[in-house]
């Protein structure tokens, strides 16, 4: 890995010394360093090689922030051969593996090859209106269709490989990857799915019919959801980062879109992350 990009969320001025430390470490180890503009501005660097997600090709992107920052960067990338490594400067940090205090020590391990690669599935989304594609998006976690103004059920006619699945009458529908199974889908009652499994999860949000439970289907299936409610505001949300207005009869066409390469340390496991980040299976101490 020769070319390394630093990307981050806004308002991380308290970590400015950490950014400078990483920059010095990378240059000391003869790496070609690219900085996202917001990073360079925060560090006060005027002359630098700019990293523009989706336009600049690098070997590794160091994402400094929380899961939202990670999703923002990944969704804009076009070269899926790029590797991504998250440094947690947010809250939960489910995708961001380590705290900033360990970064230089951790980078040494990564550059020595002491890591594994998790290949995480992406979704490709086409927004279709009057038989024309009017928007195309990528998602690492999920795509969500919801009614945005009133607490009112919407009807979503859903097909898998052009065959009827069901008509979801609910507050909305989440179509998630295994990576996204521990995000919004989990909050809505969906299952935890191991992140490297080849699957797509459909989770209705507060369904009107009790029998409308989440369903897991193979990742080679194509999902089409038609909006069959004529309300003023129905939204399509991609990874919680982008919102698009939908109209009556719009169709959302969803399919697998390759994988991204997520760098993982050898001593880190998915089950350890579940326990530490979500408290999964851990006994909760009762304080009275």
Q: What is the pLDDT of residues 175-186, one digit of tens each?
A: 999 999 999 999
CB contact set of 248 (below 8 Å; sequence gap of 6+): 227, 228, 229, 230
Q: Does domain 3-113 have CATH number 3.40.50.10330?
A: yes
Under the banding of pLDDT at 50, 70 and 90, the label for residue 9 is confident
Residues 151-184 as b or e (16 or more Cβ within 10 Å = b): eebbebbbbbeeeebbebbbbbbbbbbbbbbbbb
Residue 276 clears pLDDT 80, i.e. is over it: no
Computed on alpha carbons and rounded to an integer, the radius of gyration of the chain in Å comes to 20
Q: How confident is the model at residue 130 (pLDDT cuts 50, 70, 90)?
A: very high
Sequence spans of domains, the chain:
3-113, 122-258
Q: What positions carry a catalytic annotation? A: 67
pLDDT tens for 221-234 read 999 999 999 888 89
* 5, two tokens: 């990009």
Confidence of residue 273 (pLDDT cuts 50, 70, 90): confident
Q: What's the pLDDT at 283?
A: 67
Question: What pLDDT does 12 receive?
Answer: 77
Virtual torsion, Cα 136, 137, 142, 148, nearest 10 deg:
-70
Q: pTM here? A: 0.89
Could you tell me if 62 and 72 are in contact, meaning their C-beta atoms sit under 8 angstroms apart? no
Answer whether residue 122 shows pLDDT above 90.
yes
In whole numbers, what is the pLDDT of the chain averaged over residues? Answer: 89
Domain 122-258 has CATH 2.60.200.30: yes
Q: What is the pLDDT of residues 90-119, one digit of tens each?
A: 666 667 767 777 788 889 989 999 999 999
For position 97, what pLDDT does the model report?
67
Do the beta carbons of residue 145 and residue 156 sit within 8 Å? Answer: yes
Please report the DSSP string for 41-110 in residue order. Answer: HHHT--S-EEP-TTT---SEEEEEE-HHHHHHHHHH---TTSEEEEEE-SSS-SS--B-GGGHHHHHHHH
d(CA 239, CA 145): 11
């Amino acid at each position: 890995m020769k070319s390394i990009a630093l990307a981050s969320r806004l308002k991380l001025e308290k970590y400015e010394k950490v950014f400078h430390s990483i920059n010095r470490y990378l240059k000391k180890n003869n790496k070609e360093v690219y900085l996202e503009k917001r990073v360079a501005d925060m560090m006060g660097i005027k002359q630098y090689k700019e990293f523009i997600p989706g336009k600049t090709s690098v070997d590794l992107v160091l994402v400094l922030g929380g899961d939202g920052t990670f999703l923002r960067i990944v969704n804009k990338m076009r070269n899926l051969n790029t590797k991504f490594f998250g440094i947690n400067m947010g809250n939960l940090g489910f995708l961001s593996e380590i705290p900033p205090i360990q970064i230089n020590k951790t980078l040494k391990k990564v550059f020595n090859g002491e890591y594994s690669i998790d290949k995480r599935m992406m979704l490709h989304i086409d927004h279709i209106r009057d038989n024309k594609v009017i928007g195309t998006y990528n998602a690492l976690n999920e795509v969500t269709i919801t009614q945005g103004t009133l607490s009112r059920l919407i009807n979503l006619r859903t097909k898998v490989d052009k065959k009827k699945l069901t008509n979801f009458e609910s507050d909305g529908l989440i179509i998630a990857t295994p990576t996204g199974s521990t995000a919004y889908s989990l909050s809505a009652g969906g299952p935890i799915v191991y992140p490297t499994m080849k699957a797509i999860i459909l989770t209705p949000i507060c369904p009107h019919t009790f029998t409308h439970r989440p369903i897991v289907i193979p990742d080679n299936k194509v999902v089409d959801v038609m909006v069959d409610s004529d309300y003023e505001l129905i939204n399509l949300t991609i990874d919680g980062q982008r919102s698009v207005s939908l109209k009556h009869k719009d169709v959302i066409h969803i399919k697998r879109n390759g994988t991204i390469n997520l760098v993982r340390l050898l001593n880190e496991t998915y089950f350890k992350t579940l326990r530490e980040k979500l408290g999964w299976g851990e006994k909760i101490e009762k304080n009275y």
